[in-house]
Amino acid sequence: MEPMTNTETRVKIRGRQMNVAADGLSPIEISSIVGQVEERIKRIEEKTTIPDTATLATLAAFEFAAELYNLKRKSEVNSEADGKKIDELVEKLEKTMEKGLF
């Protein structure tokens, strides 16, 4: 893997060389992602015995997208829960202050 420009990195996935760019990611981080893609494609290939690289890549992309969707949804739920907890704490603090305890 070799840097192409400030934003592009040359990578090899399934024997195919390509230039990729990802804002905010270093070549080392991109290399890590490439490893995850390679591993995911390999796992799907072993599980399904699909020889077609394009189909394997599409299935891997779908799995990554599903993971991202679930993480975003979980993050939103956690954010809502945090917001509710903050509101509860503010309410308790206001009640305590009204009682003149502070």
From residue 5, alpha-carbon distances to 26, 47, 99 in Å are 11, 37, 63
Residue 26: give the domain boundaries. Answer: 2-77
Among left, alpha and beta (phi > 0; psi -120 to 50; other), residue 46 is alpha
- Domain assignment present for 29: yes
Total structural domains within the chain: 1
- Domain assignment present for 14: yes
pLDDT tens string 8-58: 899 999 999 999 988 999 999 999 999 999 999 999 999 998 989 999 999
Confidence of residue 59 (pLDDT cuts 50, 70, 90): very high
